[in-house]
């Protein structure tokens, strides 16, 4: 059986601005996989809480927003540029720490990981690739390939600062670094599904690795694993 006829499942995890989204998107294209950014789904939950004027630190508000997102999830919802600001990011790492919220979203993510959407206009996906914090550990523990990306906090803060600047969002490097460190601490320190590499994950430190190099290495790893 050729490699490309089997269903491929790939998990990419790592902290903010470690390069997981860029890498996962390119791998999705390379191997014709359905790509889902789990952070966007958690961000959509937080945005819904904020839009209703509710509190991301309140578990009941967070759970009802998770149920809303589960039942109304669309591509437009997760591609919304309004999800990508630091107010939503902060509310996300608060609201997503509650176990019932994670249960609802984990189940939703797992469904899409195992059943990539089909379209009349494109050939069916060969599998799926999800990125986030707990894909290899919780959402897709049986993934064929697990990648864990890291980069030192200063490099990550610089990347995020440039991204925000390019979007015309005014902030300082120091604020971005502080926000990122606070969020990293919440994501790594929470009890349920903290940011953690799976035991069988392959680690990439992207502090000094450019996007093309990370991509080429990942393609090689995936080809070897699937051979």
User: How many whole angstroms separate alpha carbon 147 and alpha carbon 198?
Assistant: 9
- Does 136 bind ligand CDP (CB under 6 A)? Our answer is no
Closer by beta carbon to ligand CDP, 188 or else 213: 188
Sheet hosting strand 145-150, strand order edge to edge: 34-37, 127-132, 8-13, 145-150, 202-205
- Among 42, 148, 204, 215, indicate the residue that binds ligand CDP (CB under 6 A): 42
Neighbours of 223 (CB within 10 A): 12
- Does 93 bind ligand CDP (CB under 6 A)? Our answer is yes
- Does 9 bind ligand CDP (CB under 6 A)? Our answer is no
Closer by beta carbon to ligand CDP, 17 or else 201: 17
- Among 11, 12, 16, 36, indicate the residue that binds ligand CDP (CB under 6 A): 16
User: How many whole angstroms separate alpha carbon 162 and alpha carbon 190?
Assistant: 28
- Does 43 bind ligand CDP (CB under 6 A)? Our answer is yes
Angle (CA) 135-208-145 rounded to 5° is 25
Closer by beta carbon to ligand CDP, 174 or else 220: 174
- Contact region for ligand CDP (CB under 6 A) — 28-36, 52-60, 132-140, 199-207? 132-140
Task: Identify each DSSP E strand in the chain by its residue range.
Answer: 8-13, 34-37, 127-132, 145-150, 202-205
- Does 39 bind ligand CDP (CB under 6 A)? Our answer is yes
User: Nearest to ligand CDP by Cβ — which residue?
Assistant: 39
b/e string for 8-31 if b means 16 or more Cβ within 10 A? bbbbbbbbbbbbbbbbbbbbbeeb
Residues at the site binding ligand CDP, with contacts judged by CB under 6 A: 16-17, 38-40, 42-43, 89, 92-93, 96, 132-135, 183, 187
């Amino acid at each position: 059986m050729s490699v490309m006829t089997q269903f491929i499942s790939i998990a990419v995890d790592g902290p903010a601005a470690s390069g997981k989204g860029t890498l996962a998107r390119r791998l999705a294209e390379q191997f014709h996989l359905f790509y889902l950014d789990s952070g966007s789904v958690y961000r959509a939950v937080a945005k819904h809480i904020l839009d209703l004027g509710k509190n991301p630190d309140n578990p009941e508000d967070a759970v009802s927003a998770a149920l809303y997102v589960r039942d109304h999830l669309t591509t437009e919802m997760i591609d919304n540029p309004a999800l990508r600001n630091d107010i939503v990011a902060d509310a996300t790492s608060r609201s997503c720490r509650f176990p019932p919220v994670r249960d609802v979203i984990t189940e939703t993510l797992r469904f899409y990981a195992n059943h990539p959407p089909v379209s009349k206009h494109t050939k069916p996906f060969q599998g799926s690739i999800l990125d986030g914090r707990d894909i290899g550990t919780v959402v897709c523990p049986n993934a064929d390939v697990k990648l864990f990306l890291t980069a030192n906090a200063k490099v990550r803060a610089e990347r995020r600062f440039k991204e925000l600047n390019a979007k015309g969002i005014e902030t300082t490097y120091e604020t971005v670094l502080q926000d990122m460190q606070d969020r990293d601490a919440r994501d790594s320190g929470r009890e349920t599904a903290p940011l953690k590499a799976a035991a069988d994950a392959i680690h990439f430190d992207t502090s000094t690795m450019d996007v093309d190099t990370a991509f080429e290495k990942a393609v090689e790893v995936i080809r070897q694993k699937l051979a």
